[in-house]
Amino acid sequence: MNVKVSEIFDTLLENLKVGDASTTIAMRRDEITKSLNKEFRGVEGSTAHRLMVGSYGRHTAIRGVSDLDLIFILPASLRSSYDTETGPRRILTRVKDALKSRYPNTDIRVDQCVVRVQFTSNKFKFEVQSAFENDDGSFDYPDTKAESWKTTKPRDEIAATKECNDRTSKNMRHLARMARAWKDANGVVMGGLLIDTLVHRFFASTSEYDDKGTLWFDFMARDFFEFLMNEPDKDYYLALGSNQRLTVKKRFQSKAKKAYNRCLEAIADEGKASANKKWREVFGTGVPLATSESAHAFTNTEEFIENQFPVDICHSVTIDCTVTQNGWRPASLREMLRERSLLLPNKELDFTITECEVQEPYEVKWKVLNRGEEAERRNNIRGQIISSSRPGVRHERTSFRGEHIVECYIVKDGIVVARDSIDVPISASTA
């Protein structure tokens, strides 16, 4: 079945919408605001004096969004009472206590500049930033580490996003959502504001896609990833609109290059079922699969982490594999891949986490997927979401020729916050 480019990207964008979660988010937002207006203004039931910021406020969030940023605007009359070194800590503690009264069984804590409210039943958290509004529309917010008040300009970021989105026929927000899907599907550690800033910079570099519809999104994606992979290494960027300094946590160029190459392959395969699979490698399960015929009847047992947990990549994890066989010294699979060494059947494989930024406690999940004609012939593609064989380790054994892949997921507070994968190419069969 041939699927048009426009159908692929129309479906992707539809699948990326926040959807039904927006109702719950709005309810929680209003409850938080009412509690704080009661505490700081003595007013019952008021949802005024608040501003949704972050990706949700800029309308670039996608389904599974887990971090929601809310500014609660404090009464100006209180500014002098908290204008001391202890002021930031005192104001955040007061916010925390007020919200704890509303949600006594919810994990609520002060985290440097915000009060985090972790709703485990909804699997998202609000980061409530209490702030004083300035005459120019900026906000002064508390920082307990610096023991002072700092300035943020989210309205400028929202305005810059809207201006670019209007100028590009809504393509700015479309591409920002697609970039988030790529981030979450491929374990790219990038904050939402950095993504929106890079998308903004991309559209500043070209007007090619200012008036294009989804029929052209394959080329737009290709050119965006080419733009990303050619970006010089930087420690920070200046945010769109506000010029706030954004730290680059991890280099993204190599993963952008991989995405660019997948785009080229997908474009070359346009109209074939393989094109959908390539786009899915770039953007994840929001891309629809096309019907394809296989030479072998097999059961598709693959599962997807997105169907079990929300995914919001904000940390990094790295896995490697120790390859062992009787009579041979154990070797690193990544080193073997770099040296283009052949991986033969009948070897023992121990997949291990070599680096993880996520603070414990967390849960580790794995997926071992067999690909290719041999896996289909044997009716053994696997692909289920499984647990570790022992803490932090997944033990496997090579058995037959083909392209195989192992993925690792770090689940924190019910959300996948880090992921990594490694290819396991087995070069010969003993069958």
Per-residue DSSP letters for 197-227?
Answer: HHHHHHHHH--TTTT--GGGHHHHHHHHHHH
Return the pLDDT at 324.
Answer: 85
431 pLDDT above the threshold of 60: no
| Cα dihedral 3, 6, 7, 12 sign | positive
292 close to 230: Cβ distance less than 8 angstroms: no
**Mean pLDDT taken over the chain:** 91
Which of 365, 327, 371, 332 is CA-nearest to residue 349? Answer: 332
Q: Which residues touch 223 (CB under 8 Å, ≥6 apart)?
A: 202, 206, 208, 209
353 pLDDT above the threshold of 80: yes
314 close to 362: Cβ distance less than 8 angstroms: no
Q: What is the pLDDT of residues 54-113, one digit of tens each?
A: 999 999 999 988 889 999 999 999 999 999 999 999 999 999 999 999 999 999 999 999
- For residue 416, which phi and psi values (nearest 5 degrees)? -75, 110
Return the pLDDT at 295.
Answer: 47
22 pLDDT above the threshold of 80: yes
CA distances from 56 to 65, 158, 281, 343, 416 (A): 8, 10, 25, 45, 19
Return the pLDDT at 170.
Answer: 98
- Kindly state the percentage of the chain with pLDDT values over 70: 94
Mean pLDDT within 147-151: 96
CA angle (237, 192, 213) in 5-degree steps: 100
Q: How many residues does the chain have?
A: 431
Structure-token pair, residue 28 = 């929680």
183 close to 196: Cβ distance less than 8 angstroms: no
- Kindly state the percentage of the chain with pLDDT values over 90: 75
Higher per-residue pLDDT: 71 or 310:
71
pTM: 0.91
